Amino acid sequence: MPDDAGLNGRALRLAYFGDTVVHDADIVMRGGEVTALLGPNGSGKSTLLRSLARLHRPESGGVGFPDGTDAAALSPKEFARRVALLSQSRPVPGGIRVLDVVGYGRHPHRGRWRHGDDDGPAKIQRAMEICGVEHMAERGMEALSGGERQRVWLASCLAQDTAVLLLDEPTNHLDLRYQVEILDLVRDLADEHGTAVGVVLHDLDQAAAVADHAVLLHDGRVTAAGTPAEVLTAENLTAAYGIDIRVDADPATGLLTARPIGRHTRRFAATTTE
C-alpha cells in the first residue's frame, strides 16, 4: 500500500459568498478502503469532496495526509501526484484520441515539453487495461458512448498514479451495466492497489455494496459516520431525506437495500395484503 494513501478533512467549514454550506465536517479516508459521501441534494457532499481536492478553499479547518503533510502546503503538481479527482462534468473533446485523453493524467509527472516521464507509457497502458479501454486507444472521444467516456476519464485519473482517488457521482447517467462495472473498478482499486477512494453517490444501495465507510450529510452537517450498517439505518435515512425509508437485507446477497415509502408505495402494499 502506498505510504501516502489516505486523506483527512478536519473541522471543515465551507461557504459560498459568505453563506456556510458545510459545518465543521470531519472525514477520514484510508488506503485500501472506499468511503462514500451520501445525502440529499444540497446537503454539501460534493462541496466537501471538492474541498478535499483543493478546489474549494475552506473558511476554517484543513485537509492533510496520514504522514502529517498539510495539503495546502503542496504545490499544484505535488498535490496532483497524490490526489486525483473525477468530477461530475467532463468535456467531450472532438478529434482527440482516447490514448491522448488518458495521457492527460500524466501531466503532474512531466516537465516542460512533456519530458521527464519515463514511466508514463507503462502507467497509461496499465490504466487503460484496468478500465477496459485499451482496444479504444485510437478512437476519437466523440465516437464513444457515455459509459465508455466515463471509463476513459477514470483511466486518465488512474494514469495520474495517485494513492488517493476522489469520484463525484461516477455512475450518474450510466446504464446498469456500466454502473456495475465502474463500482467493480472502484472496489478493485481499493482491494488490489491500496488506493484510498472517496466517492459521492446518490444510490444508497450502491453505497452499501461498495463502501467500507459511509458519511451521511444533511443540511451541511455530518449526521452519521461509520460502516454502511451503522449509517444506513431507517432512522438516519428518514431524518436526512425527509421521507420514510425502509432498510432491509437483500435475501440473495445479504447487502443492505434502502426503499423509500411514498404514497403509491403504501397503496400498492395495502392492495397486495388484502
Closest of 160, 161, 154, 4 to residue 71, by C-alpha: 4
**Range with the lowest mean pLDDT among 32-36, 56-60, 113-117, 229-233?**
113-117
Confidence bin at 52 (pLDDT 50/70/90): very high
Instruction: Kindly tell me if the per-residue pLDDT of 263 is higher than 80.
Output: no
| Mean pLDDT of the 155-162 span | 94
pLDDT of residue 118: 84
Confidence bin at 89 (pLDDT 50/70/90): confident
pTM equals 0.90
Q: What are phi and psi of 57, to 5 degrees?
A: -75, 130
| Mean pLDDT of the 153-164 span | 93
Going by CATH, does the domain composed of 1-82+162-234 fall within 3.40.50.720? no
Instruction: Kindly tell me if the per-residue pLDDT of 268 is higher than 60.
Output: no
Residue 268, all three cell numbers: 400498492
Residue 242, all three cell numbers: 425527509
Helix intervals (H) in 135-224? 146-159, 176-193, 204-210
- Give tens-digit pLDDT for 55-85: 999 999 999 999 999 999 999 999 999 999 9
Q: Domain coordinates of the chain in residue numbers?
A: 1-82+162-234, 91-160
Eight-state DSSP code of residue 182: H
Confidence bin at 273 (pLDDT 50/70/90): very low
Assess contact for 98 and 105: CB atoms under 8 A.
no
Of the ranges 1-10, 32-41, 80-89, 115-124, which is most confident?
32-41
d(CA 27, CA 7): 8
